Amino acid sequence: MAGQKDGRGGPRNRTNRTHDPYSTPLRDANRDRLYGFLTARAAWTLLIYLQEINKAGAGFWTEYMSTHPIPYHYGGEGKIADVSGENFILGLMNMSPTNIEEKYRDNYITVDPPALAVRLLDIRYALGLSQIQAHALFTAPP
């Protein structure tokens, strides 16, 4: 068909390709919002873990979360990568390890943001699996 990149019919998805007949703009938006929801939930879970184990790392994580929020909608200048949490994770991956001075000791703690990003992805994956299992449990026939 004229004007389509791959010559196949069907609705265009967010990458402007028509190869997937099940990928509609609404489906893409819902998927991005789900990724963003899972990323935000995993970030809060990681914050709780860090508060129990590493107070300096928890302070770094709280500051990062406040400066890089994950919006829940595309309003204003919300981009797909922002809503899905991709920019949140890529920002961590691109950071170098930082030293944080301990408050009452003559020492510092090194926080490794790429390692935190990997841990965040692990938690997000586990949360996604638990959601799938809960959905299967409640939708299974009696």
Q: Could you tell me if 82 and 92 are in contact, meaning their C-beta atoms sit under 8 angstroms apart? A: no
Short-list 27, 31, 46, CA closest to 127: 46
Please give the sequence-ordered ranges of beta strands (E in DSSP) within 65-114, or none if there are none: 98-101, 108-111
Q: Where does residue 61 rank: exposed (0-12), middle (13-18), buried (19+ CB within 10 A)?
A: buried
pLDDT at 110: 86
* Chain centroid offset of residue 49 CA: 17
Residue 112 in tokens? 């490794």
**pTM metric for this prediction:** 0.75
pLDDT at 54: 86
Q: Could you tell me if 65 and 43 are in contact, meaning their C-beta atoms sit under 8 angstroms apart? A: yes
- Each residue's pLDDT tens digit, 7-64: 454 445 455 555 556 666 667 778 888 888 999 999 999 999 999 998 888 999 999 9
Residue 115 has pLDDT above 90, yes or no: yes
- Each residue's pLDDT tens digit, 28-38: 778 888 888 99
Number of Cβ within 10 Å of residue 82's Cβ equals 18
- Each residue's pLDDT tens digit, 83-104: 888 889 999 999 998 887 776 6
